[in-house]
Chains A and B, each alone.
Chain A
Amino acid sequence: MKIDRRAFLSLGLGAAAGTAITPVPWKLIDDSSIWTQNWPWTPVPPVGKVTHVNSVCTLCPGGCGITVRKSGDRAIKIDGRNDHPINKGGICMLGLSGLQLLYGSTRIQTPLKRVGKRGENKFKPISWGEALSLVQESLQTLRDEKKTKELACILGAQGVVADLFGRFFQTFGSPNIFKMQTAEDISAAGLKLMQGESSSIAYDFDNADYILSFGSGLMDGWGAPGKMFQAHGQRKSSLKQSSVRFVHIDTRLSNTAAKADTWLSVKPGTEAVLALGMAQYIIQENLYNSSFIKQYTNGLDAFKDLLDKNYTPQKAAGITGLDEEIIRFLAKDFTQAKRAVAVFGRGSLESPGSVQEFMAIHALNALVGNINETGGVWAKPTVETNNWIAAALDDIAIKGLNEKCIDPDAKDVSNRPHRLIDAIGKTKESPISMLWVAGANPLYQLSDQTSVQKAFEKIPMIVSFSSFMDETAVQSDLILPDHLYLEKCAEIMTPPGIQKPIISLLKPVVNPLFNTKHTGDVIISLAQKMGGSIAGAFPWSTYEECLQKRLGTYWKKLQDKGFVETESYKPVKRFLTASRKFEFTGEGHTAFTFNLTTIEGELKRFPLVLIPCDSIRLVADGSPTPPFMMKSLEDTVLKGNDVLVEINTNTAKSLGLKYNDVVSLSTPRGTATVRVNVHAGIMPDVIAIPRGLGHSAYDDYLAGKGVNYMSLIGPVEDTVTGQDAAWGIRARLSRA
C-alpha cells in the first residue's frame, strides 16, 4: 500500500484520536501512581483484637498510671490512666513514647559476654545459665579469698529490687553499696535535722494558695511531673482569675517561670540566700506566725543571729542581684497568704542541691507555720509493708561487713558514688574487683566524666543489669539484661513530692520480647546458687512471690485496681525531734550555718557561669530519649548534631556572637563545641545548656547529638551529706 499524504495524515490523526480516547495511558498513569505508593516497605500494621492493660509508668520516678492499647499481642499506644490519682489521665511525652523503647533497637536481647576490648561493643550472646555461673564463680572466688568487700554496686533502682541487692550484699559480706543520689536524700537529711523525720519532703500543692518556688522546675520535670502538670491545669485558666499565687525564682525564663504569675531572677545558685533575706525581714517585722513559733519551734533566736549579721534584705540583694525592696515585698506577700509553701529542689531534681539550701528555704515554711497543715508541707508519708526477717550471716559475711565501706561516711548505703570513683582513681589498683550496675548509667550520669571513665577502666569486672546498650553497658564485661517496664511486675511507692501515700503496681503489658530476666529474679537465683546462708536469706522462688509477701494485704487490691491510695490522709501535727519541736538550727546544732555552694573555676579565666537547663522533652537520667522526643526538640535546642546553648542578648553582643554561631565552650573540666542561641529570657553572663544530650551510646536517633553537661562539670560536696551538690560551673565561650 502506498502511503500518500492524505493517508499519512488520517493515520496520524486516527492514532492521536485513538490515544486520546483509549483509557490505556490514563490507566497507566493511575497504575503508576498507585504502584509508586505501594512499596512493599510501606508497612501495613496487622489488625488484632483490641485490648487495654492498666499499669504504671516507671520511666521517671513520677509513677503515672497508664493504659496501654493493644492490637493482638502488640502494644500500640500508651495513654494516661484517667482514674489514677497522680496524673488523672494526662501523660508526658516520655510516657507516650514508651513503646519506642519497648520495641527499640538498642535493647539488649540476651545475656552478653564481652569478647572484644572494653568499650569496643563486641559481645557474644550466652545463656542465662552460663551468665549466672560466670558471676557465681567470681563471687565464690571472692568468698574463698575472704575478699567479699571487693564486690561493689551502683544502684539507681528503688524499692524491693534495691532491697534485694542490699540483702545480697549483706549476706555476701560487702559494705560497698552505692546509690545514685537524689534530691530526696537532701530534703530527707534536712527534715531529719529540723523535724526528726526520716523521709523526704512533700508539698500539698492541691490546697496551697501561695507557691514560692526556689528554682524548682515544677513544669520542667520536678517531682511527679504528671501530678505537677495536672495541678497547674487545676490552678490556672483563662476563664477565671486563680486564687493561688505562684512565684518562681529562676535564673532563666524556664517553662516554669513562664507559667508563674511572677518570675524573679536571681544570680545562679543564690536562691537560698533570697529565702534567708526574706526570713530576716519576716522576723524583724514580726510577720511570722507567732503562736506556731512559740508552741512548736526552737532556735529562732540563733537563726535570727545569723540572718541579722549576714542576710538582711540589703545584703541578700547584693548577693542575689534582686532589688532589696522586692525581697521585702516578697517576704510580706508570702506571710500574707493563708497557706503559703516555699518549695525546695532545683530544676527537675537532677541536681540535688545542699542541705543548708533546703534548711534556708524550709525555714520559711516554719515562719508561716504551714507545716503539717492542709495546704502546707510535711514529710512524705511512707506506706508500711511487711519487712523481711533479719538475715542470718556467716563468718565471711560478718568479717566483710566489719570492714569499712569505701565511702567512710556510709551507713548501710552510700549515696555518694563520686567517692567510689575518687577512691578507685587514687589507688594504683582498684579497691574493688567486681562492680554491679543496676538502674543507673554512671558513665553518663556522674560528673567529671573523664575521671569516671578512667576509674571504670581500672575495675577488673563490670556487670551491667541494663535493658539498653547504654554507655555503662558498653563498658561492661557481662550484661544480664532486665525486662523493660512494660514486661514486668514491680511496686511503685509514693513518688517524690507527693503528699498522700500511694502504692501502684506495675503489671506486665506484653510478654517479654527477648531473652531478658527480671533483675529481682536474677538476684534471687544468684543467691540460691551461692548456697549457704546467702541462699537461706532468699526463701522465695520468684521475685513476684517476694513482692507479694512484701506487699501483704495490699497485694490483692493492687492486683484488682492497680493502685492503693489513702485519699483522706492528713498529716500528724507533731515533730519527731528530741524536743518535739521544729529546730531552726537543726537538731544538735546551736547555730544556723549557711554557706553558698561554691562552684569551680576562676572568674578571670572563666567569666561566665554554666548552668543546666532541664526540660520535660529530654531524658536526663542516662536512659535513652526516644526518637519522638528528639523530634519534638525545638531547633533552638538542637540543630543537626549541635546543641545550642542559651545566652542573653547583651552577653552575645559583648562577645560578638549571634544566633547559630559555632563556639567553643570551656569549663575547668572540659571543652565542647556548641552553637549559640541568643535569648532575652536568661540573665546576662550565664550560659544554659540543655541536660540530657551528648550520648555516645544508643541508636542514631540519639547518639552523637549535642554535649553531655556532666562531662563539663565536676563534683562539689555538700557540707552536711557529702553528696554532689554542684549546680553549675564557671565557663568561657570563644569562637571555635
Chain B
Amino acid sequence: MKHSSTHQKTNKYGMVIDLDKCTGCGSCMVACMAENNVPFRKDETDKTKSITWMRVYKINNGKSFPETDICYIPRPCMQCGGVHDDGHSPCVSVCPAVATDYSQETGIVSQIYTRCFGCRYCMAACPYHARYFNWWDPIWPEGMERSLSPDVSPRMRGVVEKCSFCFHRYQLAKNKAFVEGRETLKEDEYQTSCTDACPSGAITFGDLNDPTHAVYTLKQNKHAFRLLERLKTNPKVYYLSTRSWVREACDNYIKGEMPQIAAAHHH
C-alpha cells in the first residue's frame, strides 16, 4: 500500500445520507448509471445480477396495516477503511490481483478493471453487496453508445465493478486545481453524481477530515450511524434517521436505545 507523499494533504471522502429526507425516488441510482456508463440488460429483474453501483433498498418495520412504515436506504460502496481505518477493507484484503486498492490520498477504494480477473473474492468479502460481476459483455442498443461518457471506461465481461465515488470527477477537479496552482479542492469542486442529482438534497458529500465540510459536522450528529458497525469495517458512508426502527434494522442504536428495543422485543 502506497503512502502519500509528505506534502500531500490526506483526505477522507465520505457521504452522509439523511434518510428522513430520502423519498426513494431513485434519482441517485440513475444518476450513477448515466455518469458511469453502467450497462443495462433487457431483463433486470434478477437483482443479484443487476449492476447498480448505487442501489436503493426498501425496508419496512414489520408491523401490520396500518402501523406499517417503510424506509429507503440508498447504498453506494461504503469505501471501508477496515478495522484501523488504514485501508484493510474487506475487499482489498482478499483481492489476489491488486485490482482493488485503498487510496490513502482520498480514502476511496479503487477498482481497476483490466487487472481484475473475475475471481469474485471481493464480492464474497463485501458485507454490503456493493460489488457486481459482469456476467455478460455490456451491449448498448444501436445508437445509444453515443451517450457514453469518455471519462469512465466501459467494462467488459468477467470483471467486478462498483461505486468509485465518481473518482473521475475527483481527477478532473484535481487537474483543474493543479492548473490553477492549488493543492486542495473546494467542497463544491468535487461532488458525486448522485449527490448532485438528489432532488431532496438527502445526500451530502465531502471530506470527513475537513472541519469546513458539511459532512464533518453531520457525521457527528446523534442520529448518525453506519451500516453494520459491529463488523468494524469502518465505512465512509453515514446515515441519519430519527426513526429508531430504521437504526435497529441497520444494526445500530443510539445511546440508551438498545435496552428499550431489546425490552420491546421480549413482549
The answer to whether A and B assemble together is yes
Is B23 in contact with A48, judged by CB distance below 8 angstroms? Answer: no
Is A76 in contact with B149, judged by CB distance below 8 angstroms? Answer: yes
Is B34 in contact with A233, judged by CB distance below 8 angstroms? Answer: no
A46 to B202, CA, bound (A): 34
Q: How far apart are B227's CB and chain A's nearest CB, in angstroms?
A: 16
- Indicate the size class of the contact surface on chain B: 35 or more
**B187 sits at the interface (CB 8 A):** no
Q: How far apart are B157's CB and chain A's nearest CB, in angstroms?
A: 8
**B110 sits at the interface (CB 8 A):** no
Is B144 in contact with A45, judged by CB distance below 8 angstroms? Answer: no
Is B25 in contact with A93, judged by CB distance below 8 angstroms? Answer: yes
**A79 sits at the interface (CB 8 A):** yes
**B180 sits at the interface (CB 8 A):** no
**B141 sits at the interface (CB 8 A):** yes
Do A640 and B158 contact each other (CB < 8 Å), given the known contacts A80-B199, A238-B240? Answer: no
Do A635 and B45 contact each other (CB < 8 Å), given the known contacts A237-B18, A238-B18, A680-B63? Answer: yes
Is B200 in contact with A632, judged by CB distance below 8 angstroms? Answer: no
Q: Which residue of B lies closest to A96 (CB)?
A: B30
Beta-carbon contacts of A606-619 to B below 8 Å, as 1s and 0s?
A: 00000000001100
**A21 sits at the interface (CB 8 A):** no
Is A103 in contact with B199, judged by CB distance below 8 angstroms? Answer: no
Is B30 in contact with A632, judged by CB distance below 8 angstroms? Answer: yes
| Contact among A237, A258, A639 with B24 in the assembled complex (CB-CB below 8 Å) | A258
Within 8 A of A (CB), among B189-247: 193, 196-202, 218, 221, 223, 240-242
Within 8 A of A (CB), among B45-70: 45-47, 50, 52, 56, 58, 60, 62-66, 68-70
Chain A contacts of B43 at CB under 8 A? 640-641
A598 to B20, CA, bound (A): 37
Is B199 in contact with A92, judged by CB distance below 8 angstroms? Answer: yes
Is A233 in contact with B154, judged by CB distance below 8 angstroms? Answer: no
Q: How far apart are B75's CB and chain A's nearest CB, in angstroms?
A: 13
A79 to B30, CA, bound (A): 11
| Stretch from A9-17, A117-125, A681-689 that touches the partner | A681-689
Is A649 in contact with B64, judged by CB distance below 8 angstroms? Answer: yes
Chain B contacts of A76 at CB under 8 A? 147-150
**A176 sits at the interface (CB 8 A):** no
Is B145 in contact with A45, judged by CB distance below 8 angstroms? Answer: yes
Q: How far apart are A237's CB and chain B's nearest CB, in angstroms?
A: 6
A388 to B173, CA, bound (A): 50
| Contact among B26, B33, B41, B142 with A105 in the assembled complex (CB-CB below 8 Å) | B142
Is B221 in contact with A253, judged by CB distance below 8 angstroms? Answer: no
Do A77 and B64 contact each other (CB < 8 Å), given the known contacts A90-B198, A229-B23, A633-B45? Answer: no
Is A681 in contact with B68, judged by CB distance below 8 angstroms? Answer: yes
Chain A contacts of B42 at CB under 8 A? 700-701
Is A699 in contact with B137, judged by CB distance below 8 angstroms? Answer: no
A65 to B69, CA, bound (A): 33
Q: Which residue of A lies closest to B64 (CB)?
A: A680
Chain B contacts of A238 at CB under 8 A? 18-21, 221, 223, 240-242
Is B70 in contact with A104, judged by CB distance below 8 angstroms? Answer: no
Q: How far apart are B259's CB and chain A's nearest CB, in angstroms?
A: 22
**A24 sits at the interface (CB 8 A):** no
Is A631 in contact with B50, judged by CB distance below 8 angstroms? Answer: yes
**A99 sits at the interface (CB 8 A):** yes
Q: Which residue of A lies closest to B54 (CB)?
A: A632
Is B153 in contact with A44, judged by CB distance below 8 angstroms? Answer: yes
Q: How far apart are A31's CB and chain B's nearest CB, in angstroms?
A: 12
Chain B contacts of A640 at CB under 8 A? 43, 45
| Contact among B68, B156, B201 with A42 in the assembled complex (CB-CB below 8 Å) | B156
Do A253 and B69 contact each other (CB < 8 Å), given the known contacts A102-B147, A105-B142, A617-B26? Answer: yes
Chain B contacts of A71 at CB under 8 A? 149-150
| Stretch from A33-41, A183-191, A295-303, A475-483 that touches the partner | A33-41
Is B200 in contact with A45, judged by CB distance below 8 angstroms? Answer: no
Q: How far apart are B49's CB and chain A's nearest CB, in angstroms?
A: 11
Is B27 in contact with A93, judged by CB distance below 8 angstroms? Answer: yes
Is A230 in contact with B201, judged by CB distance below 8 angstroms? Answer: yes
Chain B contacts of A219 at CB under 8 A? 23-25
**B71 sits at the interface (CB 8 A):** yes
Is B40 in contact with A103, judged by CB distance below 8 angstroms? Answer: no
Within 8 A of B (CB), among A47-68: 47-48
A37 to B23, CA, bound (A): 39
**A595 sits at the interface (CB 8 A):** no
Chain B contacts of A102 at CB under 8 A? 147
Chain B contacts of A194 at CB under 8 A? none
**A330 sits at the interface (CB 8 A):** no
Is A48 in contact with B150, judged by CB distance below 8 angstroms? Answer: yes
**B178 sits at the interface (CB 8 A):** no
Is A680 in contact with B65, judged by CB distance below 8 angstroms? Answer: yes
Chain A contacts of B52 at CB under 8 A? 631-632
| Contact among B60, B200, B218 with A229 in the assembled complex (CB-CB below 8 Å) | B200
Chain B contacts of A239 at CB under 8 A? 18, 218, 221, 223, 240
Is A105 in contact with B144, judged by CB distance below 8 angstroms? Answer: yes
Beta-carbon contacts of A547-567 to B below 8 Å, as 1s and 0s?
A: 000000000000000000000
| Contact among B47, B62, B70 with A258 in the assembled complex (CB-CB below 8 Å) | B70
A265 to B41, CA, bound (A): 38
Is B60 in contact with A78, judged by CB distance below 8 angstroms? Answer: no
Is B33 in contact with A617, judged by CB distance below 8 angstroms? Answer: no
**A629 sits at the interface (CB 8 A):** yes
Is A628 in contact with B33, judged by CB distance below 8 angstroms? Answer: yes
**A315 sits at the interface (CB 8 A):** no
Is A43 in contact with B27, judged by CB distance below 8 angstroms? Answer: no
Q: Which residue of A lies closest to B199 (CB)?
A: A90
Do A631 and B21 contact each other (CB < 8 Å), given the known contacts A45-B150, A103-B147, A681-B70? Answer: no
Is B156 in contact with A37, judged by CB distance below 8 angstroms? Answer: yes
Beta-carbon contacts of A655-682 to B below 8 Å, as 1s and 0s?
A: 0000000000000000000000001111
A253 to B24, CA, bound (A): 13
**A722 sits at the interface (CB 8 A):** no
A630 to B47, CA, bound (A): 12
| Contact among A89, A99, A636 with B196 in the assembled complex (CB-CB below 8 Å) | A89
A577 to B140, CA, bound (A): 58
Q: How far apart are A90's CB and chain B's nearest CB, in angstroms?
A: 3
| Contact among B34, B37, B145 with A96 in the assembled complex (CB-CB below 8 Å) | B34
Q: How far apart are A66's CB and chain B's nearest CB, in angstroms?
A: 11
A634 to B60, CA, bound (A): 14
The 27 sampled A-B contact pairs (Cβ below 8 Å) are: A37-B159, A42-B138, A76-B148, A79-B193, A79-B197, A80-B199, A87-B199, A91-B27, A91-B197, A91-B199, A92-B25, A99-B34, A105-B144, A219-B23, A236-B200, A238-B19, A239-B223, A253-B68, A255-B23, A265-B66, A616-B25, A628-B34, A631-B40, A649-B64, A680-B63, A680-B65, A701-B40
Q: Which are the 8 A-B pairs with shortest beta-carbon distances?
A: A90-B199, A233-B200, A229-B199, A238-B240, A93-B30, A99-B147, A233-B201, A45-B148
B residues bordering A, Cβ < 8 Å?
18-21, 23-27, 29-31, 33-35, 37, 40-47, 50, 52, 56, 58, 60, 62-66, 68-72, 113-114, 117, 137-150, 153-159, 193, 196-202, 218, 221, 223, 240-242
Given contacts A76-B147, A258-B70, 16 further A-B contacts (CB under 8 A): A41-B137, A48-B150, A90-B199, A90-B200, A104-B143, A225-B199, A237-B21, A238-B221, A253-B69, A255-B24, A629-B26, A633-B44, A635-B46, A640-B45, A681-B68, A701-B40
